[in-house]
Amino acid sequence: MRLPFRLRPLLSWFDPAMVVVDIGANHGYLAKTLTTMTSSPVYATEYSNPSFAHLLHELEGERVLAYQADGLQNLPTEVNTAIITGMGGRLILSMLAIDPFPSHLETLWLGPQSHVDELRLYLSNHGWKIIKETIVADAGQFYPFLFVVKGDEPLSNVQAYLGPRLMEKKESSSLAWMKQESMRLATSSQTVSLPEEEQHRLEWLQAYVKH
Instruction: Determine the pLDDT at residue 169.
Output: 86
* 3 state SS of 178: helix
Task: Name the residue ranges covered by the structural domains of the chain.
Answer: 5-157, 170-211
- In three-state form (DSSP H/G/I as H, E/B as E, the rest C), the secondary structure along 91-125 is HHHHHHCCCCCCCCCCEEEEEECCCHHHHHHHHHH
Mean pLDDT (the chain, rounded): 94
List, for residues 31-60, the tens digit of each pLDDT value: 999 999 999 999 999 999 999 999 999 999
pLDDT exceeds cutoff 80 at 112: yes
Instruction: Determine the pLDDT at residue 192.
Output: 87
* 3 state SS of 128: strand
Task: Cis check for the bond before 9: say yes or no (omega within 30 of 0).
Answer: no
User: What is the pTM (predicted TM-score) of this model?
Assistant: 0.93
* 3 state SS of 34: helix
Across 157-161, average pLDDT: 96
Place domain 5-157 in its CATH homologous superfamily.
Vaccinia Virus protein VP39 (3.40.50.150)
pLDDT exceeds cutoff 80 at 211: no
Provide the terminal-to-terminal Cα distance of the chain, rounded to the nearest Å. Answer: 42
Instruction: Determine the pLDDT at residue 90.
Output: 97
Across 16-32, average pLDDT: 96
